[in-house]
Amino acid sequence: MSSAVERRRPPTAQQFVLAELRRAITSGELRPGGAIRQETLAARLDVSRVPLREALKALEAEGLVVHHVHRGYFVAELSLADLEEIYRIRRLLETEAVRTAAPRLADGALGVLEEIQREVERAAAAGDVTAMAEANRRFHFALVEASGMPRLVRLIATLWDATDAYRSLYYTEDAHRDLAVHEHRSVLAALASGDVDAAVRWLDEHRDHAVAALREVLAEE
């Protein structure tokens, strides 16, 4: 196994496999609709089939992978209608979370968002799709978690999980990464000035641009 994989290895085999599968899906190494070859994967990760099966069951429960009898596991594939519905629901829930969170954002919280945004920008500049997706998620959840509504945050997380396989399709393009950086910066500026309406508008545009790009990708496929 590579040293990079070793550095990422969590305490248990199942956690390790789960993290590696998530990384492979988020990075685009395993694409939507693609088959998950268990024997090959178990050999590459140097684990038995038991933790691999458990990790796949966990991802199936989250909707990230699907199991077909006699065929095996596949990365979940969403239709355009599915994606548009998920992003529409995200818009409703995240708007509520942000409007609740904004008045609670002290300078320290904005500082955390700024720090995460710098990670987003470093990953964008390096073209590191996996790191970009991870930092992007931390940025958005640092904001919605400030709402102090854990049930709402869990609902939003479920929606994000369902589209993880599509994140890499968007961030592969330089222009999309640059646009995301600009939109994040605009959200931060709006929050810092106390303009919650502007922050919500920028977040709406952020999601809309992702849906538009994915619409083109799915149409080509």
Residue tagged 């952020």 (tokens): 206
65-68/35-36 β-pairing: unpaired
HSE-CB of 50 using CA atoms within 13 angstroms? 2
Residue 99 has a pLDDT of 97
Helix extents (H) in 127-195:
129-145, 150-162, 164-171, 174-192
Q: Is residue 189 within 8 Å of residue 105, measured between CB atoms? A: no
* DSSP 8-state symbol, 104: G
Give the domains, in start order, of the chain with CATH numbers. Answer: 3-75 (1.10.10.10), 80-220 (1.20.120.530)
Reported as a single tens digit per residue, the pLDDT across 63-83 is 889 999 989 999 988 888 989
The β-bridge partners of 67 are 73
Mean pLDDT of the chain: 89
For the whole model, what pTM was predicted?
0.81
Which residues have C-beta within 8 Å of that of residue 221, sequence separation ≥ 6? none
Reported as a single tens digit per residue, the pLDDT across 205-216 is 999 999 999 888
Q: Is residue 146 within 8 Å of residue 109, measured between CB atoms? A: yes
